[in-house]
Homo-oligomer: A and B are copies of this chain.
Amino acid sequence: MSGIASGVPYKTYLSEDELPRQWYNVRADMQTGHAPILNPATLQPVTVADIEPVFCTELAKQELNITDRYIDIPEPVRDFYKMYRPSPLIRAHYLEKQLGTPAKIYYKFEGNNTSGSHKLNSSIAQAYYAKQQGLKALTTETGAGQWGTALAMACCYFDLDLLVYMVKVSYEQKPYRKAVMETYGAKVIASPSDTTNVGRKILGEFPHSGGSLGCAISEAVETAVSTPDTRYVLGSVLNQVLLHQSIIGLEAKLALEKLDVYPDIVIGSAGGGSNLGGLMAPFMEDRLAGRSAPHFIAVEPASCPSLTRGRFAYDFCDTGQVTPLAKMYTLGNGFIPSANHAGGLRFHGMSPILSQLYHDGYLDEARAVEQGDVFAAAELFARCEGTLPAPESSHAIRVAIDEALKCKEAGEEKTILFGLTGTGYFDLAAYMQYNAGTMTDVIPTDEDLERGFATIPQLEGIQ
């Protein structure tokens, strides 16, 4: 290899002064309606008062805010952002060259921080509001550990205690993720645990349970509501999280403007939806205002295909059915995806915002990709671009490569933007499996899906 393809720099950094001062709340521009979040007991839209026993009050307000288009980023949050933001916008010169495509590929890289992902963008905001409210502690759950790590860093910065319920099987398989959280002062408990009623109940029935995200959420919520000055926080799916993650798209759009570039296609991996929601937000603003806008593609694992094979319905956000009901694309709260290395994408539902936009045709397309194809893309990317991507992020890489190859075939110079959400330094067991040729993927059958759909609540007169 030699020579960079054009005069465009490899990395474009905004200055710290250019770091956005406001998040963008896409819901203020969603004219086609919002299905409100419902209280499962009353089936009425939840109010701030309903959810503030669980969430920080300011975050509860953000969760329900459909009117303010821009919301100020608090200065202490902007200060923290400056430790690792603005993140680079990278022109994938080397990948383009390897593919021999006329397409121009850009990616926004969110992995250059110790949490290794974009999760830090929201965790620091959530910790800030908790501190402002005078709270002492937060609780959360974590599966793969990215969110737990990001929240541990944020709580350490604002001097808040943090209790992380980590799915037991991950707790045992990923001691290093736990070690990072502990280095930042978090207390990490394997879930199910004997610290909660729900944990003790499960352990009583299944003493050797390896746990589940659903169970860990239930334990974290129970502890939050039963402990003084403590609240529960979540790293994806929620409207507040997509709001905070809009920083990704706002920076990306500004950096592209400096290069006089507007993307034709915007691609993001989608599990709970926070990364894609954040990346596409300011471009979706164009679309919603009737201006020309990119073609948006959400990429999900074939093993957990909520957008491509799910139903748009009210469902619980957790398996334990303790959360409010959200209208979203869902495989059913009881759907159990097969084991998969993209732990961050194994959620039965999808962000209500993304779901609504997809349902209304603003989020143009969703694609499900298989794990082996994802790792082939990941390895090619690592070798060309020098960064070992996380399995989750590599879903977007797969489709970016596919689109770039289509451009090659058609001789089209489209501009592609995708989100590289994180690094794969804690995912090397997956790469080992891929290199050994033993990687497989399990695609749910129609019968599997039907079993999941059967767990979606039947709400008289609502759906």
A94-B83, A425-B425, A432-B175 given; A387·B16 CB < 8 A: no
The residue on B at minimum CB distance from A423 is B114
CB contacts (< 8 Å) of A2 on chain B: these are 75-76, 79
CB contacts (< 8 Å) of A426 on chain B: these are 425
The residue on B at minimum CB distance from A10 is B82
The number of chain A residues touching the other chain, given as a range, is: 35 or more
Q: How far is the CA of A396 from the CA of B183 in the complex (A)?
A: 19
Tell whether A158 is near chain B: CB-to-CB under 8 Å. Answer: yes
- Which of A229-237, A377-385, A412-420, A441-449 forms part of the interface with chain B? A377-385
Residues facing B in A109-137 (CB within 8 A) are 112-114, 116
> Do A180 and B16 touch (CB < 8 A)?
no
CB contacts (< 8 Å) of A3 on chain B: these are 75-76, 79
Q: How far is the CA of A183 from the CA of B176 in the complex (A)?
A: 21
Tell whether A206 is near chain B: CB-to-CB under 8 Å. Answer: no
> Do A387 and B425 touch (CB < 8 A)?
no
Tell whether A204 is near chain B: CB-to-CB under 8 Å. Answer: no
Q: How far is the CA of A13 from the CA of B86 in the complex (A)?
A: 11
Q: What is the 8 Å Cβ interface bit string for chain A, positions 249-279, against chain B (1 contact, 0 not)?
A: 0000000000000000000000000000000
Tell whether A185 is near chain B: CB-to-CB under 8 Å. Answer: yes
A371 to chain B: closest CB distance in Å?
Answer: 16
Tell whether A15 is near chain B: CB-to-CB under 8 Å. Answer: yes
Tell whether A49 is near chain B: CB-to-CB under 8 Å. Answer: no
Tell whether A43 is near chain B: CB-to-CB under 8 Å. Answer: no
Q: How far is the CA of A79 from the CA of B6 in the complex (A)?
A: 12
CB contacts (< 8 Å) of A15 on chain B: these are 9
CB contacts (< 8 Å) of A459 on chain B: these are none
Partner of A386, one of B153, B382, B386, B431: B153
Partner of A13, one of B13, B153, B382, B432: B13
A180 to chain B: closest CB distance in Å?
Answer: 6
CB contacts (< 8 Å) of A156 on chain B: these are 383
Q: How far is the CA of A432 from the CA of B178 in the complex (A)?
A: 9
Q: How far is the CA of A388 from the CA of B183 in the complex (A)?
A: 9
Tell whether A309 is near chain B: CB-to-CB under 8 Å. Answer: no
Q: How far is the CA of A243 from the CA of B172 in the complex (A)?
A: 44
Tell whether A362 is near chain B: CB-to-CB under 8 Å. Answer: no
